[in-house]
Chain A
Amino acid sequence: MLDSNQQARIEDLAWKIRYHIIEMTGVGKAGHIGGSCSAADIVAALYGWKMKHDPQNPHWPERDRFVMSKGHAALAQYAALAACGYFPEAELRHVKKLNGMLQGHPDLRRTPGIEANSGSLGQGLSIGVGMALGLRLDHLESKVFVMLGDGELAEGQVWEAAMAAANFKLDNLVGLLDCNRIQATGEIAQRFNTYPFTEKWQAFGWQVIEIDGHDVAAVCAALEQADQVSGRPTMIVAHTVKGKGIPFAENTAAYHNGILTEDLYRQALVDLEQKRRDETCCG
């Protein structure tokens, strides 16, 4: 169970992640704000509370693994890794720098703490299946967490991996479905309707837990519930808001990979600061 201090720390990390997402996006350059912000609370719960990991020893064999299958949300993961101390937060200023450490999509050879390369959608869950099989062969208790996007579910390979995980009874594998309802070109329901999700994952043999993906206590409870299941994988279907925390970017495809003007950049940071003041005074 989460105590109120722990919850506050996770919420603080989530806030920090969002602030960094805006800073990394900067002015006049494209950045995947929408899908990074929708994932922020879950990423914070994983790195800030749930996962066994050691920023000083990124290759610790007994660590839990996190794979960002929706690789375009790398900004959320970079922010979390920096906040945890995998590398200095100052590095975040150099996202997408020529041949730099922080690429547009996750690259395990370049960035400490990144566990898999992603960016071509649909592959992360399969990588997670391989990791879960390997960890089980080594009798390690470590878990594998894979974050997927709801738009990503149109990729057929996701369902190949879903079948494989159930076939191999991988109860050390947990999926986190960031259901922000919006793909790059618009609402999933309008563009390419892949609903319903919960029934699909259940039919594929997974335990499914449906939550509000911005309710940190609910995210943590779902992660604990996933520990209890035996003989099958768990999918946490997290309902989220694309662009969450950045009011003008919420629930719109425009900031899937959006460019901030100077005014909007300032606005986003002001909104975040305001939110933090509101929470500090009333929370």
Chain B
Amino acid sequence: MLWLNQRKAYGESLVRLGRQNSRVVVLEADLGKSTMSCFFQDAFPERYFEMGIAEANMIATAAGLSLTGKIPFAGSFAVFATGRAYDQIRTSICIPGLNVKICGSSAGLSDFGDGSTHQSIDDLALMRVLPNMTVLSPVDAVETEKMVMAMAEHDGPVYLRVCRNDLPVLTDPDVPWQIGQITEVKPDGDIALLATGVMVSLGLEAAEQLAREGIRLKVVNISTIKPLDADRLVEVLRGCRAFVTAEEHSVIGGLGSAVHEALSGRLNLPSAMIGIADQFGTSAYNWQELLAHYGLTSEAIAKAAMRLDRETAR
């Protein structure tokens, strides 16, 4: 299986966008080498703004640039891009619905070594609660590229969550993608996994484990966290007896919450939520070790699905 990096896809896509559209500008807070917006700096230095280590100012500056017709992409680590600049995103960007794109890089636990201060367990929750905001969480580098292009087409604020580490490529570069899309990666199943980011590929592993037990797991990639298409959710869950949500994020306020909010009063199925259980991150030698520590594994998904399968057996 091919493994590619979402950060690299972000940086390269910005350059492609920059060639297509002179209104695209990029802002960074001294992390351009990490978010890989540095590719854009090399290609279009006059449209690249190093804003120093000052995220609040960067985000509100992006608001000002958008008010002169530019399409600003402002990037930093997800924790800083969202939490450090939350009120700027809220007041200066989301209330007026300005056309600003925010990239939260090294999201989730993917910055494994740096520990709790650098691991975003709350970025989806923070961005999702803001009216007018669109929230994207790509499954792989190929989808990241499509998202960056779609972000520039969409008029309004968008948050893009980007993983630091290489991820298996699950999507096809030739298949178009649009904001709001919910994709059945493995269509058939009695229990559904509704997952985002790295949890989708772990879900495919879980599906193989479950198949050996005679349990069919449907695997669904939800890469648009907001807006979440409730009708489409009901449709993909048709025929399933239960579902599991999985995300590299707190169980509070992320994909699992969004799914349950969307289904509330519409579809009443037994469910389980896999995510980080209301606690901060911690340093580790590698990402896999950290994912395992917080129970974000194919085994955990399989176990939850098995339990639901048992409980809902007809």
Do chains A and B stick together as partners? Answer: yes
A107 engages B46 (CB within 8 Å) = no
B60 engages A127 (CB within 8 Å) = yes
B67 CB contacts on chain A under 8 angstroms: 65, 108, 115-116, 127, 130-131, 134
- The size of the chain A interface, using a CB distance under 8 A, is 33
Q: Is A27 an interface residue (CB 8 A)?
A: no
Among B50-58, B147-155, B231-239, B267-275, the stretch in contact with A = B50-58
Q: Is B295 an interface residue (CB 8 A)?
A: no
Which A residue's beta carbon lies closest to that of B72?
A: A130
B92 CB contacts on chain A under 8 angstroms: 116-118, 123, 126-127
A137 CB contacts on chain B under 8 angstroms: 25, 46-47, 68, 70
Chain A residues at the B interface, C-beta cutoff of 8 Å: 61, 65, 107-109, 115-120, 122-123, 126-135, 137-138, 156-157, 160-161, 163-164, 167-168
Known: A157-B88, A160-B56, A167-B52. A133 touches B64 (CB 8 A): yes
Chain A at the B interface: SS class = helix
Shortest distance in angstroms between A69's beta carbon and chain B's nearest beta carbon?
10
A107 CB contacts on chain B under 8 angstroms: 95-96
The size bracket of the interface on B is 20 to 34
Choose from B54, B64, B91, B97 the contact partner of A130 (Cβ within 8 Å): B64
Shortest distance in angstroms between B52's beta carbon and chain A's nearest beta carbon?
7
CA A45 to CA B57, docked complex, whole Å: 28
B66 CB contacts on chain A under 8 angstroms: 130
A157 engages B68 (CB within 8 Å) = no
| Given pairs A123-B56, A126-B64, A134-B67, 8 additional interface contacts (CB within 8 A) | A123-B91, A128-B64, A129-B64, A131-B68, A137-B25, A157-B88, A161-B61, A164-B51
Query: Which residue of B25, B49, B60, B72 has the most chain A CB atoms within 10 A of its CB atom?
Result: B60
Query: Which residue of A119, A127, A129, A167 has the most chain B CB atoms within 10 A of its CB atom?
Result: A127
Q: What are 6 inter-chain pairs, A to B, with CB distance below 8 A?
A: A109-B97, A129-B60, A130-B62, A130-B72, A163-B54, A168-B49
CA A137 to CA B69, docked complex, whole Å: 11
B52 CB contacts on chain A under 8 angstroms: 160, 163-164, 167
B59 CB contacts on chain A under 8 angstroms: 126
Shortest distance in angstroms between B58's beta carbon and chain A's nearest beta carbon?
8
B61 engages A116 (CB within 8 Å) = no
CA A127 to CA B88, docked complex, whole Å: 10
Q: Is B133 an interface residue (CB 8 A)?
A: no
CA A134 to CA B59, docked complex, whole Å: 14
Chain B residues at the A interface, C-beta cutoff of 8 Å: 25, 46-47, 49, 51-52, 54, 56-57, 59-70, 72, 87-88, 90-92, 95-97
A133 CB contacts on chain B under 8 angstroms: 49, 61, 64-65
Choose from B51, B57, B63, B90 the contact partner of A116 (Cβ within 8 Å): B63
B60 engages A126 (CB within 8 Å) = yes
Known: A116-B92, A134-B69. A126 touches B57 (CB 8 A): yes
Choose from A118, A119, A120, A127 the contact partner of B61 (Cβ within 8 Å): A127
Choose from A65, A115, A130, A135 the contact partner of B60 (Cβ within 8 Å): A130
Choose from A118, A120, A134, A160 the contact partner of B57 (Cβ within 8 Å): A160
A120 CB contacts on chain B under 8 angstroms: 87, 90-91
Which B residue's beta carbon lies closest to that of A162?
A: B57
A127 engages B63 (CB within 8 Å) = yes
B69 CB contacts on chain A under 8 angstroms: 61, 134, 138
A131 engages B88 (CB within 8 Å) = no
Closest 6 CB pairs between A and B? A130-B64, A134-B68, A126-B60, A160-B57, A130-B61, A160-B54
Shortest distance in angstroms between A221's beta carbon and chain B's nearest beta carbon?
27
A129 CB contacts on chain B under 8 angstroms: 57, 60-61, 64
CA A128 to CA B68, docked complex, whole Å: 10
Query: Which residue of A119, A130, A133, A168 has the most chain B CB atoms within 10 A of its CB atom?
Result: A130
CA A123 to CA B61, docked complex, whole Å: 9
A116 engages B88 (CB within 8 Å) = no
B61 engages A164 (CB within 8 Å) = yes
CA A86 to CA B215, docked complex, whole Å: 66
Shortest distance in angstroms between B65's beta carbon and chain A's nearest beta carbon?
4
